[in-house]
Structure 1
């Protein structure tokens, strides 16, 4: 009877970066030809550990340079702790631990959590990355998920029908410093929903089904813009990570040449020390040019490749795309097209980013933003503010949402002319745009209506700056009305409920004489008149409790 190792085959499925459209890693999937070896592995921790080691050796035999995802049952890690067989296999095939992500698979219910966390700590101490697999469709407790603080969280595609759950998980992964992946993507509609929910990674038959040979070539559908724009600091560098070809700093030039000539899509290699810290960056074109020059091969082939490398350009894993561009702009012009190495908090290389990916994404972001801008004020519409409101609600942050408009604006247009009315709107928009710094967001809904989102502590000075201006149009004095709802953590479900609370406050403010300001609380009835006169301070609240 043949042993399980003789009847077991492995398939490789790409994990795709949804921002760059490139393959970020390959997951190794066991495919037994006979028996149910996976069911046995679920009950036998030692067997499961040997399967993981066997998977790494198989990937090495296939010659892939891509980072690897290896599946291990959570109970196995709790039982075996360090996964010695996997560690040994990674060393034997010459891979670095941080090129390997251990996907922890359910069940989690009967797994001793303390032992599991100790196992994760041991893996991380050696440099392995950790992924929580089967989240949302499995049995991983939320408390355990936060304690694990995984590098990646994988969700099942069935959750895409519950978009709010996926978006909430995206918020959680941001707090954990993790990437969000969705598995089982089969259609372009699912891919669009995945990107809409903010996931950075995906895998499934749409991109490439499991295959006997790992491949860096995948189908990637046309990009569909996300409705949630990147924050003011720019998108995270994590969204643009590509696998980094890593070689030990002791590698010979001939070894690097073999790597580059055998992988035409690789733009260069990084030479790292035993801890994985980049020491030298080898650029493909300059390196191959040096070796192809007269006597170049004789001079360099058997010598350390470090002599032909440059000091690497690096950014931290928490950097933004704009910070990467600053690094590129501040360097030598001749190196402006090189990849930039991304390092974790220990200085170890976790990937590279390409300038072309950054420029493309940031350009698309700016084009999309420009399309959303009001042509009169150059301010975004309500969608931008609504998305930020939902983000703050998900983060559990207090905020204030204000509605500003001009009193009697129709009479302004009728009496002073539409050109004077447009000038007034531009002036208000200019003031709001100037004050929209830090955490303040401003939107122009249309006509004379504006939205202002800010933190509670920034509200008073912002309101004073708006209301104390002697507005005028065509020589006519004009006043404005401001209505504000203060939303504490948990007081509103989403931006729609916040807007519903704001509507009666706006009516109350418009009922006052002169420049007016009304403030209400989302969870309390009634309102407070901060500016203006001529109305009672009751009956316009929006209590959401109970």
Structure 2
């Protein structure tokens, strides 16, 4: 009689590091040739445990040294109270438990939560890592997820259509000390969404399909400058574009050699199609080394130069220098000196940039940025905020510009001393930095004045992070005032108009008592009082602190 093991095979799918482009691990997937053994394993914990053991043994037969991901149902862990046979199988395969991640999958409904938590503690004690699988498309309760404290959280790719949820999960993972992965990635657009939302790992058909042989090489699309991601500050790549040495994709190695030897200043050649789209990149040193070797000229001179080239590295003409460094950092280290092709919206090459030029310029910009930081809070000044405001206006993006300061700060300094006043300013700056996420930018423009630029939907968390805090300085209660101007697309032409629209809102906020918040919209009269009262009692900066505040 045939056993279920006779009709079961295993496939391996890479888990890809989105930052390095390398393979971070292999998930082992059961592939029955007949029947539905996975449905049986969901009902039979003993069978599910045997499947996990078989998966590890299958990986051992393939002699892969990559970390492994083994699937186990949540009910199996809760029922068995641990996976001792799996631990033994890992040791027998010559692997270490911390090289294996147990992907705990749904369903979680009707699984005794305490039993599950106890079992997770047991396998973690054996050295295994824990992944919460199927999040976003499964039934794992959020409270249980936090109690599990997984090392990795795997999201279903369908959640990428809700980027706010993915970003929220990234924040939760940071609190838990976990990595965030996205499963089922099939398109480059989904990959870009995963990167923009902060995922560190991913897997899916885009990178490599499940296969019987473990794959060490995967396809990772280059990061598209500006696609779905928010604009990054820094010099524009346009500042560094050099003329490109172009030859048709059909050029021979002899033609490339003639160009390079006749033009010592050329560091590489791009082979392009009839439309000017780069197809291959030929690096000067590597190419000439191949040609100068024994029989090199005889072997390659009349052959297509493309055979001695590499896939081109490209960035859009609107990219920043930092985004170019992202492209350079991905891939083989021996290609860090390669020219990066700059392409227009149609993919046509308009020139190249060199790493040395970028590093020099970025080092200078960092020095300039450091000089512009406020020495008290180490936050940038108004220039960093206003330049970002102008960038958003040019992109036609809605934004909210807020001004924040301490009420009656001079009286705080006079009554509590400048040291207490400085510590208060530092504390407010730290609170703003903690609240800053994604597109939010915080600047300290001097004294007790701060500027905050953010998306309109981020206003409530911003206000809560600073206005709901019981501030004090030297035992004296302190309140803050916040003024915000909403700037829909087309409402202002530059940062000066935005600042002018904010000025009367600042005065309105200062006229209120207590922690205050005034909201207005550029181009429209009036404003809305969201916090604070119009009464005018004694200055808040002089009132003694209540017990427990500080």
Task: Report the TM-score, using the length of structure 1 for normalisation.
Answer: 0.51
1:379 aligns with 2:384: yes
Distance in 1, matches of 2:450 and 2:66, equals 55
* 1:506 has 2:511 as partner: no
Q: How far 1:215 moved relative to its partner?
A: 1.2
Q: Are the counterparts in 1 of residues 431 and 465 from structure 2 also a CA contact under 8 Å?
A: no
Q: Does 1:40 align with 2:43?
A: no
Unaligned runs of 5+ in 2: 234-333, 335-354, 373-380, 393-400, 406-425, 434-439, 452-460, 469-482, 488-497, 521-525, 533-550
Contact 1:435 1:462 in 2 (8 A): no
Structure 1 526/436 Cα, relative in aligned 2: closer, same or farther at 3 Å?
A: closer
- Offset of 1:382 from its aligned partner? 6.9
CA contact (8 A) 2:135 2:154 kept: yes
With structure 2 as the length reference, what TM-score do the two structures score?
A: 0.51
SS class of match (1:13): strand
Q: Tell me by how many angstroms 1:402 deviates.
A: 1.6
Cα distance in 1, alignment partners of residues 114 and 391 from structure 2 = 41
Q: Which residue of 2 aligns with 1:63?
A: 63
Partner of 1:402: 403
Q: How far 1:508 moved relative to its partner?
A: 2.2
Contact 1:520 1:526 in 2 (8 A): no
C-alpha deviation, 1:488, in angstroms: 1.1
* Residue in 1 that maps onto 2:11: 11
| Match of residue 530 from structure 2 | 542
From the superposition, tell whether residues 185 and 539 of structure 1 become closer, same or farther in structure 2 (CA, over 3 Å). closer
Q: Which residue of 1 aligns with 2:95?
A: 95
Q: Check 1:224–1:539 CA distance in 2 against 1; reply closer, same or farther (3 A cut).
A: closer
CA deviation string 1:152-189 (max 9, x = no partner): 00001111111101011011000000000000001100
Looking at structure 1, the residues matched to 140 and 402 of structure 2 have their Cα atoms a distance apart, in angstroms, of: 36
Where do 4+ consecutive residues of structure 1 move more than 3 Å? 224-230, 362-367, 380-387, 434-441, 450-454, 489-492, 497-505, 509-512, 516-527
User: Aligned partners of 2:154, 2:145: CA distance in 1, in Å?
Assistant: 12
Pairing of 1:445-456 with structure 2 (within 5 A) = 452=442
Contact 2:442 2:450 (C-alpha < 8 Å) held by counterparts: no
SS at match of 2:14: strand
- Indicate how the Cα distance of structure 1 residues 42 and 523 shifts in structure 2: closer, same or farther if over 3 A, else same: farther
Counterpart in the other structure of 1:23: 23
Q: Write the distance in 2 (CA, Å) between the matches of 1:88 and 1:143.
A: 32
1:488 to 464, 483, 501: 464
Q: Would the aligned equivalents of 1:520 and 1:541 in 2 still touch at CA under 8 Å?
A: no
Counterparts of 1:30-179 in structure 2 under 5 Å? 30-179=30-179
Question: Counterparts of 1:364 and 1:223 in 2: how far apart (Å)?
Answer: 23
**Could you tell me how far apart the structure 2 residues matched to 1:463 and 1:490 are?**
13
**1:523-534 paired onto structure 2 within 5 Å:** none
The alpha-carbon deviation at position 540 of structure 1 amounts to 4.7
Q: 2:448 pairs with 463, 486, 491, which one? A: 463
Q: 1:463: Cα distance to partner? A: 2.0
Q: Deviations over 1:284-310 (max 9, x none)?
A: xxxxxxxxxxxxxxxxxxxxxxxxxxx
Alignment RMSD:
4.9
Alignment of 1:326-345 (within 5 A): none
Q: Separation in 2 of the partners of 1:363 and 1:52?
A: 48
Deviations 1:472-505 (A, max 9, x none): xxxxxxxxxxxxx97115999xxxx965399998
Shift of 1:212: 0.3
The 1:508–1:191 alpha-carbon spacing in structure 2 relative to 1, beyond 3 Å, is same
> Conserved in 1, the CA contact under 8 Å of 2:131 and 2:150?
yes
- CA displacement 1:449-488 (0-9 Å, x = unmatched): x97457xxxx9x832799xxxxxxxxxxxxxxxxxx9711
Superposed, which structure 2 residues align to 1:270-419 within 5 Å?
379=384, 401-402=402-403
Aligned equivalents of 1:133, 1:48: Cα separation in 2: 16
Task: State whether residues 508 and 518 of structure 1, in contact with CA within 8 Å, keep that contact through their aligned partners in structure 2.
Answer: no
